[in-house]
Amino acid sequence: MHIIIGLGNPGKEYHRTRHNVGFDVIDVLSEKLNIQLTKNAMHGLIGEGYIGGEKVLLVKPQTFMNLSGQCVTELVNWYKVDMSDVMVIFDDIDLPLGKLRLRKDGSAGTHNGMRSIIGLLGRQDFPRLRVGVGKKPEGWELANWVLSHYQTEEDRKVQFEAFLRAADTVTDWVKNGMDSAMRTANTQK
């Protein structure tokens, strides 16, 4: 089993903001794979299905971003999966808009959701797929930037294409493993 967790904030006011790209990628996966997220458990909205015969859980934590570790820890403890079978998808201000970066492990960087996850799990050896939202413009507060919506139609198009590539990366990871998925994600333009 693979657990695929997209980070975001619950609530309509956060829908389609930069900080919610994890939710957006889960929505794309849900649509492509016909997996409905209908189960509300372990502080998350969960959908069960299959990718290439492999059981997967799609998860959108229903805590706010800074408490994401609560949901992830409960899932890992309940399902007893190997950490290499857990992928977390989240926004990254250090990557250009629409750029993907997949890693086998690593630190939380500046991301509070990842800090929560790593802090509660007590480990950081799990895959993470970062989706670039671009650096904050001069004069913007970081919180205002990540909670903002995309300003132009072009930005929305670039980001939606990134969500599609991220969904393909996740599918590749489940079907073919981490090395193949890293080639898919990390060699994108």
Supply 66's token pair: 């800074």
Residues classed as catalytic: 19
Strand order, beta sheet including 100-103: 39-41, 44-51, 54-61, 2-6, 86-92, 128-132, 100-103
Q: Hey, what CATH topology would domain 2-186 get?
A: Rossmann fold (3.40.50)
pLDDT in tens, the chain (189 residues): 999 999 999 999 999 999 999 999 999 999 999 999 999 999 999 999 999 999 999 999 999 999 999 999 999 999 999 999 999 999 999 999 999 999 999 888 778 899 999 999 999 999 999 999 999 889 888 888 888 888 899 999 999 999 999 999 999 999 999 999 999 898 865
Per-residue confidence (pLDDT) for residue 188, from 0 to 100: 66
